[in-house]
Amino acid sequence: MKKYDYLIVGAGLFGSIFAYEAKKRGKKVLVIEKRNHFGGNKYTTEIAGINVQYYGAHNIHTSKKEIWDYINQFAEFNNFINSPMANYNGQMYNLPFNMNTFSKLWNISKPEEAKRIIEEQKKKYQIKEPKNLEEQAISLVGYDVYEKLIKGYTEKQWGKSCDQLPPFIIKRLPVRFIYDNNYFNDIYQGIPKGGYTKIVKRMLAGIEVILNADYFAKQKKYDGLAKKILYTGAIDQFFNYEEGVLEYRSLEFEHQTLNKENFQGNAVINYTDFKTPYTRIIEHKHFEFKKSDNTVITYEYPKEWNKNLEPYYPINDDRNQEIYNKYYLRAKQLTTHIFGGRLAEYKYYDMDDIIEKALDLVAKELRESNLKEEENK
Ligand code: FAD
Ligand code: UDP
């Protein structure tokens, strides 16, 4: 007899939702996490009285009411609207690309004027079907926006030139011909009051969690503990990189406490030139409209990934996708393990995607396991 129904590798959002839902349905669950805390990349901790999103700014956003309602059962959300600014060589522009951006850039006021300029700039490049991020960006917003607000940021962020990157990355950002700085098109968004860690703490309440536990350090022992294992780490590592090493982008975060009330006047400022080594500075207090004499800021530096660094972003180009497809087929054949999350599925998922995917997987998994139990009776 195995001690647990499920061993869950990784206490990020995916693993925590799966654990919560499985426990709720009477399953015995163990969670192991290699870091010294749970929450994965949306871990929040308090520094100098301010909730600090330790691995970068996270804004949950969705248009699906069921996803919003689901996450709201674990925390109360504030009404923060993400409206980052871009700093290009000292000049400030609104994001995402909207009439505020265009009017500052071209000294115009009307949507038709912006559309006309973008069309003229696009024409020069004669792009029919965009094949890479550069072509996609120019098709959407023209050359000036590409040059000042996209090219430098993107090449720092991904460590590749824009013509080597897939178009879908830039389509994450809205382009609007109205004066609206909301970074997302979704109906619902916000920041959980008290930080994201509180959400995961609630999900994992009453569940056994072992921190500082790397699955691969004792894989045989861990596999022996549970009837089934949900793995949310990097998929290529699970298969010992046998089909090839997938590429990731890593990050480094530098947190500073400053003895001033307001450092940059906004939660997120992107540095869109290539020379500045960081991509963004986050000032955490602005996410929560916090009043205090001090402030905490975080510099986000993109980094070349290697096996000793955290794999923050999958790089979903054709080469990596081909490798991933091989791992996917191998993973599907296993009856002892299931896979989910940003790293195990090698997809640029946001948190709303993760909630949806985790709920789907746990429902499917428990349906099948209950059927099996019925058959064995
Ligand atoms: P993770 O949070 O990565 O959790 C996986 C966990 O597994 C980690 O804790 C890891 O330590 C653990 N693990 C891995 N391998 C092992 C092992 N061998 N043994 C034990 N444990 C292991 N999404 C949004 O919706 N809005 C945003 O604004 C947003 N901003 C982001 C900003 C940044 C800088 C980054 C990197 C991501 C952002 N995201 C955002 C995406 C969001 O972080 C992810 O969608 C979500 O955290 C993925 O959850 P997950 O559980 O799949 O992965
Ligand atoms: N991007 C950009 N300039 C910006 C912000 C974003 O060119 O000021 C591009 C960049 O390629 C980035 C992508 O848009 O990787 C998606 O941005 P998003 O803010 O969604 O990235 P994330 O928060 O996931 O890092």
Ligand found nearest the CA of 270: 2
DSSP 192: B
Q: Which of 299, 301, 328, 348 is an active site residue?
A: 348
Cβ–ligand 1 contact at 43 (below 6 Å): no
Residues 338, 10: Cα–Cα separation, whole Å: 13
Ligand found nearest the CA of 166: 2
Q: How far is CA 315 from CA 41, 168, 237, 312, in A?
A: 17, 11, 16, 10
- The pTM is what? 0.97
Q: Where are the domains of the chain?
A: 4-80+189-247+314-376, 96-170
Residues 116, 243: Cα–Cα separation, whole Å: 48
**Index of the ligand 2 atom closest to the CA of residue 154:** 11
| CATH fold of 4-80+189-247+314-376 | Rossmann fold (3.40.50)
Cβ–ligand 1 contact at 15 (below 6 Å): yes
Written as one letter, the residue type at 322 is E
Q: Which helix (H) or strand (E) holds 200?
A: helix 196-203
What are 300's strand-pairing partners?
A: 253, 280
Residues 280, 230: Cα–Cα separation, whole Å: 33
From start to end of 95-222, where are the E strands? 188-190, 208-210
Residues 254, 275: Cα–Cα separation, whole Å: 18
**pLDDT per position in the chain (377 positions), as tens?**
789 999 999 999 999 999 999 999 999 999 999 999 999 999 999 999 999 999 999 999 999 999 999 999 999 999 999 999 999 999 999 999 999 999 999 999 999 999 999 999 999 988 889 999 999 999 999 999 999 999 999 999 999 999 999 999 999 999 999 999 999 999 999 999 999 999 999 999 999 999 999 999 999 999 999 999 999 999 999 999 999 999 999 999 999 999 999 999 999 999 999 999 999 999 999 999 999 999 999 999 999 999 999 999 999 999 999 999 999 999 999 999 999 999 999 999 999 999 999 999 999 999 998 888 888 88
